[in-house]
Structure 1
Amino acid sequence: MPRDLDERELRILHVAQEAFDALKHVERPLLVNGRSSAWEELPAWNRWKVGLSSAHRWPQETDLDAVLLRLLPEKAAMNLAIQAVAARMTKRAELWIVGTNDEGVKSWLKRLSPWFDDVETVLFKRHCRLLRAFRTSEELGLKGSLESWQEKHEILIDGNTTSWVSYPGLFAKGAVDPATSLLLETLSGEKFKRSVLDFCAGQGVISAVLKHRQPDLSIHALDSDALAQAAFEVNVPYVRFFLSDAWRSVPPQNRYSAIISNPPIHQGKAEDQRVLQELIEQSPRWLERRGVLWIVTQRRILMEKRLSSVFKYVSCVAQNNRFWVWKAQN
């Protein structure tokens, strides 16, 4: 879940200024993957919802004369974004890419062929790099539709093989990750009586397992990634999904008997625990009386003090050598 501007994003905005200025002078520009309102002065395509801004699975059907793309450290997600815009760019349209060195921006100097040429570093400053390239007329191998990126898998849901859909950049890449597996094993004896929220639901593993165990259970789910929503709606079609930056798009009247989460603790390469902290701090406002927060994290993340500052009853109910599961309740 991308968050508000931090020091890294301020540096990137500074380095990207030349590209911003160039885009202001073309007829059909596009900003991609911006992480703050500073990217909203020109037409934008954001896969992730930031605050109350819009997020979309795919760019609009229109020709593009120039694109500024904020680097995604996850190569598969970045490759999807590049091909999505390349399919709409006119010949010799400019592609600008901005990112930090530790995110791997330099490697994209050699990754843009055959759809772009004349690739160069325009500016290298403050551990950031601004690249520029020009669209060729090459179309061979270009995946220019969302459907062409859909990945089909099979996963086990409580021992049953289930068809599963994912997209590049989604956590666990079409599998059940070890932390979620521990959480679901811990919840195997629980019977939820009222509505449950799957917070940071991703492609829908937690919701799918809960629905399999209790078919009549009312489940809501949220995530900030529009492609997570696209996968989720195929994988778990009978669960209501909120495309939401944390709690921001959840109807204010909603209350839950349980909130269940394996929250992200990274934004790209950098560790970022703000989603985790917002989950903990705001959960009591969304829980029914005696409602429970169930959360799994890496064991190196110190949880007891954080949870105890918000909840009256806190306990670690399961753990292994990598992860632990916490239960918190007022």
Structure 2
Amino acid sequence: MKQSRLFTALDEGLSLDGPLHVIRPPAGYDLAGLRDVSVEATFYPDHQYWAAAGLIGDGAGRAATLVVVPRSKTLARAMISGAIAQGGTVIVDGQKTDGVESLYKDIRKVATIEGVVTKGHGRLFWFRADRQPAWEVSVTSPQGFTTVPGIFSEAKVDAGSALLAPFLDGLEGEVADLGAGWGYLSRAILQNDAVTRLDMVEAEKTALDCAVQNVDDPRAHGIWGDALTHQGAYDAVVSNPPFHTSRSGDPDLGRGFIATAARILKPRGVFFMVANRHLPYEADLDARFARIEELSGSGAFKLFRATRPKR
């Protein structure tokens, strides 16, 4: 097994002179054997992984902060700025495909880099927290909504969700929004007075916090969790499922959402879904539902209405 950039850095001069706080490491990130470590994770599956390891904490009293670079450049900048504000040593670890090289160049302008490890198509570097880079770390949210850096479609309403919303008229009873994001479809669902309860199920805690702010309705309930394992019994399920957690697309994520929808729907329930047109979900819908109707979509997106879930 190849040694990680972090442990290579520890062998080559990185000194941890006190507690280390790690921000957003994915499940499986190598922290084995380190002492005095706490982890901050807002993506539910990652949080559960680190909670099982007993490492979830707020980083109080930290001597160093390790930022694991996410895909979002604005979020990465916000994370590094937050780490600098905490003082001590700041460590940044990321892949080239996630923009670590541009972060490294920006930090070199305001801080002395104390060490660098380049391997595995990525870079890890560390420096003493001092000056803040002249970065923009906020986002311009869609009008009438609150969003934050790093969540899906942070700066504009997703086109697929916008296509699906008009078809949600007439929903009633108990409804689940699987992968609710920051709440655009949830707000549309609650335009129906006959909806008695809406569960907004979302794995990314920062997105769910936005949804709770954006959907100011006593019928709405935010649920931080994994849509693939969510339990319930609903009259309707609505979803714009993710199809990637990295730069590589993964249709199995959408397939998992379809399976969950079929499992948690009542026998006469209805499932509404939007997906990128190139994703091959028709066979999965046919396997899980007795009746499938493709609604009017666009060149980029297809919309489905599915009923009579198969048990």
TM-score (norm 1): 0.78
**Quick one: structure 1 residues 20 and 167, their matched pair in 2 at CA, closer, same or farther if it must change by over 3 Å?**
farther
- Deviation of 1:262 after TM superposition, in Å, equals 0.9
Mapping of residues 40-189 of structure 1, within 5 Å = 42-50=37-45, 52-53=48-49, 60=58, 62-90=60-88, 93-99=89-95, 101-112=96-107, 116-118=111-113, 121-125=116-120, 128-138=121-131, 153=141, 155=143, 163-187=144-168
CA distance in 1, matches of 2:216, 2:10: 40
Residue 298 in structure 1 maps to residue 276 in structure 2: yes
Q: Which amino acid aligns with 1:14?
A: S
Alignment correspondent of 1:205: 184
Q: Percent identity?
A: 19
Which one has the bigger strand percentage? Answer: 1
Partner of 1:28: 19
1:105 offset after TM fit, Å? 2.4
| In structure 2, distance between residues paired with 1:200 and 1:323 | 17
Distance in 1 between residues matched to 2:154 and 2:216, nearest whole Å:
19
Return the letter of the residue paired with 1:29. L
Q: 1:286 — aligned with what?
A: 264
Cα shift at 1:117: 2.7
Q: 1:296 to 1:140 in 2, by over 3 A?
A: closer
Tell me the SS of whatever aligns to 1:170. coil
Q: Secondary structure at the match of 1:181?
A: helix
Structure 2 equivalent of residue 14 of structure 1: 4
Other structure's SS at 2:113 match: strand
By how many angstroms is 1:17 displaced? 3.2
Q: Tell me what 1:159 maps to.
A: none
Segments of 5+ residues of structure 1 without an aligned counterpart are 1-9, 144-148, 156-162
Amino acid at match of 1:176: V
| Deviation of 1:37 (Å) | 4.4
Displacement of 1:18: 2.5
Q: Distance in 2 between matches of 1:269 and 1:80?
A: 21
Q: TM-score normalised to the size of structure 2?
A: 0.83
The CA distance in 2 between the partners of 1:203 and 1:165, in whole Å, is 8
Aligned to 1:7: none
In the alignment, what sits opposite 1:3? none
- What SS does structure 1 have at the residue aligned with 2:269? strand
Q: Does the aligned pair in 2 maintain the 1:62–1:88 contact within 8 Å? A: no
Shift of 1:107: 2.0
CA distance in 1, matches of 2:15, 2:216: 41
Does the 8 A contact of 2:147 with 2:155 survive in 1?
yes
CA distance in 2, matches of 1:114, 1:67: 20
Contact 1:49–1:243 at 8 Å: present in 2 too?
yes
Assess if the C-alpha contact under 8 Å between 2:181 and 2:202 holds in 1.
yes
Instruction: Answer yes or no: is the 8 Å Cα contact 2:5–2:117 preserved in 1.
Output: no
In the aligned structure 2, how far is the partner of 1:130 from the partner of 1:153? 31
Q: Give 1:114 shift.
A: 5.7
Cα distance in 2 for partners of 1:152, 1:164 equals 10
Structure 1 residues 106, 139: closer, same or farther in 2, change over 3 A? closer
SS of residue matched to 1:319: coil
Please state if 1:310 is matched with 2:276.
no
Secondary structure of the structure 2 residue equivalent to 1:241 = strand
Amino acid at match of 1:218: R
Q: Distance in 1 between matches of 2:111 and 2:252?
A: 37
Deviation at 1:153, TM superposition (A): 4.3
- Number of the residue aligned with 2:172: 193
Q: CA RMSD in A?
A: 3.0
